Amino acid sequence: MFEDPKTIAAVIALVGVLVSITSSFFVARFAAKNERERIKQQLHNVYSERIVTERINSYPQLYDLVSSFLKTVYDGSFVEEGSIFQLKDSVRKWDGKHAMFMGSQTQHDMYLFRKALDSFCDSFDESNREYAMNDLEELWKSMTRLELSLKADVGVFILDEYDRKATFLDYGSLMDHMKVK
Q: What is the pLDDT of residue 115?
A: 93
- Strand, coil or helix: what is 125? strand
Contact 149, 63 (CB under 8 A): no
pLDDT one-digit tens code per residue, 91-138: 999 999 999 999 888 999 999 999 998 888 887 766 655 556 667 778
Predicted TM-score (pTM) above 0.95 = no
pLDDT one-digit tens code per residue, 144-176: 889 888 888 887 766 445 555 555 555 456 556
Instruction: For the chain, give every domain's residue range.
Output: 57-180
Rg (CA), the chain: 30
